[in-house]
A = this chain, B = another copy of it.
Amino acid sequence: MFTGLSAFPVTPLSDAGVDSGGLSRIVERLVGAGVESIGALGSTGSYPYLSTAERAQAARAAISAAGDVPVIIGVGALTLSDVIRNVDAAQSAGASGLLVSVMTYQPLTDEEVVAFFEDVAARSSVPICVYDNPGTTHVAFTDSMHERIAALPQVRSIKLPGAPVPAFTDRLGALRKAVPDDVTLGVSGDAFAGDALLGGADVWYSVIGGTLPEPAVALTLAAQRGDRAEVDAIATQLAPLWELCARYGSYRVVAHLAVLLGLTDTVAVRRPVRPLAEAAVAELRALLPRIAATVAVDRRTHAP
């Protein structure tokens, strides 16, 4: 489950709350594209902005729609008690795995972070992926912290922040020595994915894979067979999209992309986060023909 392409869909939202039907359709599309797993309620899926009840609802919808494809549910929250509620709800809904972030308000000590994962693991009956994302959680995981956390039997993967080669591959090498063999190491930050996969990352925890699964699957398969030319060709096609993500935040960009592609009715962000200004949306809209070409190229190359 924690290998290959793990695709993170948006959670469609309406004024009434989570749009379960919309989420089901998006998840079915990911299954059809051949993703290895689905990461529901990741950062892309608005997890910190949804209530415990909304998150339970979204987990049920995603898992029900995914069929045999494993679904990893994001359970992070500011308090351990809310995380435990999310763990229980995800497991009741049939989650195959949990994505565990440690959200912060007060800065946490390394000991508090490790103890948090111990507490969550003790409650988990399914495998855990550790969510290392300092850009949103402001927790700086050291290799030593990862070593201690990955020693917990429930922990089976680490979702690392993207970075250019060789910084990323250096870290990968250090962590390989520090964590058990059955703990996979993954990359997030789509722009870094190709090089990271070619450099030995086991899994791509992908934002765009949740909205544009075809090129993400194609890039992952190309990297797995060591085809750097094909990886670079797909990455070059997607680079302008990743530039918009870097400039405006991938959370906002993919929420708009989902609307432009007809996958959701409304831009799935919650205040204080706002939809993008029209000028930025126009930049994104201008990329659609290029994105369609990427999908078409992929279909031509990889059609069964």
Partner of A112, one of B111, B113, B116, B274: B274
Provide the main secondary structure of the chain A interface. Answer: loop
A78-B113 CB under 8 A given contacts A106-B249, A106-B251: no
In chain B, what residue has the closest Cβ to A52?
Answer: B51
A147 to B214, CA, bound (A): 47
Docked CA distance A274–B118 (Å):
13
Q: For residues 128 through 144 of chain A, which have their beta carbon under 8 Å from a beta carbon of chain B?
A: 135-136, 138
Q: Within the complex, what minimum Cβ distance (angstroms) separates A197 from chain B?
A: 26
Q: Does A262 have its Cβ within 8 Å of any Cβ on chain B?
A: no
What CA separation (Å) do A92 and B76 show in the bound complex?
31
Docked CA distance A162–B230 (Å)? 53
A20 interface hit (Cβ, 8 Å)? no
Tell me the minimal C-beta distance from A115 to chain B in angstroms.
6
Let me know if A79 is at the binding interface, CB within 8 A: yes
Q: How far is the CB of A13 from chain B (nearest CB, A)?
A: 11
Given contacts A43-B106, A49-B79, A136-B106, contact A271 B119 (CB under 8 A): yes
**Contact residues in B for A136 (Cβ distance below 8 Å):** 105-107
Enumerate A94-130 residues with CB–CB distance to B below 8 Å.
102-109, 111-113, 115-116, 119
- Cβ of A301 < 8 Å from any Cβ of B? no
In the bound complex, do residue A112 and residue B80 qualify as a contact, i.e. CB atoms below 8 Å apart? no
Interface string of A44-79 (1 = CB under 8 A from B): 000011000000000000000000000000000011
Interface core residue of A48, A105, A107, A273 (most chain B CB under 10 Å) = A105
What's the nearest-Cβ distance from chain B to residue A103, in Å? 7
* A contact residues, range: 20 to 34
Residue in chain B with minimal CB distance to A272: B116
Residues of B within 8 A of A78 (CB): 48-49, 78
Residues of B close to A79: CB separation below 8 A? 49, 270-272
Residue of B49, B80, B103, B271 near A270 (CB, 8 A) is B80
A78 → chain B closest CB, angstroms:
6
Cα(A119)–Cα(B272), bound, Å: 9
Q: Determine how close the nearest CB of chain B comes to the CB of A188; give it in whole angstroms.
A: 14
Bound-state CA distance A67–B108 (Å) is 36
Taking a contact as CB atoms under 8 Å apart, the answer to whether A272 and B135 are in contact is no
- Do the beta carbons of A105 and B49 come within 8 Å of each other? yes
State the CA gap A168–B59 with chains docked (Å).
Answer: 48
Distance in Å: Cβ of A131 to nearest Cβ of chain B: 12
Give Cα distance in the complex from A58 to B115, angstroms.
28
Q: Note all chain B residues with C-beta closer than 8 A to A107.
A: 135-136, 249
**Residue numbers in B under 8 Å from A113 (CB-CB):** 272
Contacts A/B (CB < 8 Å), 8 sampled: A48-B105, A79-B270, A79-B271, A80-B271, A104-B272, A112-B272, A115-B274, A138-B138
Task: Give 4 nearest A-B pairs by CB, closest first.
Answer: A80-B271, A116-B272, A48-B105, A106-B251
